[in-house]
């Protein structure tokens, strides 16, 4: 069942200021523009995650979970006072949701990325270790709605971003759509009540 546009984003675990830079990684054969290095303040060297690596991880997870993804993007998750480690957020819009729990899908993403990226694997097992990635399931139409609002329909969605600007806009768009849908539902209920009420004599 495809998520309703009225639904708010769902989050599955796997949180946390990030020091971000873009660079070519020796571990990655991808061109510079498709690699984003995510460096945490307490880690000396950043972690490079390539767009193709992220796409392969999604493909593996979809194949195992019999799912289909419309769009996705990966954003850094900054450390907080409560959780001094950082991690990655995968913001995903499904055409066909996984036939398993989101936690299982997220774990498959994590394992696939660790298999493709030795540096990421080392950071996940290091001390301090990166947090388990978090998957945020966005309602249907979220990416399309944001691209249309920005006049960017037809453009490619960045697979890996070096900050949370895109993630923040997607979450805000999803939340706004959810509130609008709730208002429409409340209005429809009011109209239904009024039409069912007996006419005054």
Per-residue pLDDT of 23-52, as tens digits, reads: 222 222 333 334 555 544 443 335 789 999
Q: How confident is the model at residue 84 (pLDDT cuts 50, 70, 90)?
A: confident
Give the H or E element holding residue 40. strand 35-40
**Res. 139: pLDDT tops 90:** yes
Largest CA distance in the chain: 82
Average pLDDT, integer, range 159-173: 92
Structure confidence by residue, pLDDT tens digits, 105-134: 999 999 999 999 999 999 898 777 788 999
- For residues 169, 77, 155 and 172, what is the CA-based torsion angle, rounded to 10 degrees? -10
Nearest alpha-carbon partner for 110 in 53, 63, 46: 53
Backbone angles phi, psi at 186, to 5 degrees: -65, -40
Distance between CA atoms of residues 64 and 169, nearest Å: 30
Distance of CA 73 to the CA centre of its chain: 5
Mean residue pLDDT across the chain: 76
Whole-number pLDDT of residue 18:
27
Backbone φ and ψ for 192, nearest 5 degrees, come out as -65, -40
Angle between helices 165-196 and 142-149 (to 10 degrees): 110
Report H helices in 32-101: 51-65
CB contact at 8 A, 170 and 73: yes
pTM for the predicted model, two decimal places: 0.71
Q: Which of 5-19, 39-53, 155-169 is predicted most confidently? A: 155-169
- Phi/psi of residue 72, each to 5°? -155, 160
Q: Please list the residues that pair with 21 across neighbouring strands.
A: 37
Q: How far apart are CA 117 and CA 54, in angstroms?
A: 10
Question: Half-sphere exposure of 16 toward its Cβ, with a 13 Å CA cutoff?
Answer: 24
Q: Which helix (H) or strand (E) holds 20?
A: strand 18-21
**CA 15/CA 42 separation, integer angstroms:** 14
Residue 176 has pLDDT above 90, yes or no: no
Rounded to whole angstroms, how far apart are CA atoms 101 and 136? 13
């Amino acid at each position: 069942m495809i998520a309703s546009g009225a639904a708010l984003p769902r989050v599955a675990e796997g949180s946390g200021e990030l020091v971000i830079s873009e660079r070519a990684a020796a571990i990655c054969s991808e061109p510079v523009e498709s690699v984003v290095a995510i460096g945490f303040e307490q880690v000396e060297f950043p972690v490079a995650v390539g767009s193709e690596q992220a796409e392969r991880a999604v493909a593996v997870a979809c194949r195992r979970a019999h799912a289909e993804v419309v769009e996705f993007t990966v954003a850094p998750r900054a450390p907080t006072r409560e959780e001094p480690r950082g991690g990655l957020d995968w913001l995903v819009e499904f055409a066909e949701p996984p036939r398993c729990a989101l936690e299982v899908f997220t774990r498959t993403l994590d394992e696939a990325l660790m298999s493709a990226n030795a540096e990421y694997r080392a950071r996940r097992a290091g001390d301090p270790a990166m947090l388990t990635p978090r998957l945020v399931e966005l309602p249907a139409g979220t990416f399309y709605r944001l691209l249309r609002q920005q006049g960017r329909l037809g453009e490619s969605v960045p697979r890996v971003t070096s900050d949370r600007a895109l993630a923040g806009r997607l979450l805000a768009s999803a939340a706004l759509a959810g509130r609008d849908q709730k208002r429409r539902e409340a209005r429809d209920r009011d109209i239904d009540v009024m039409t069912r009420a007996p006419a005054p004599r």
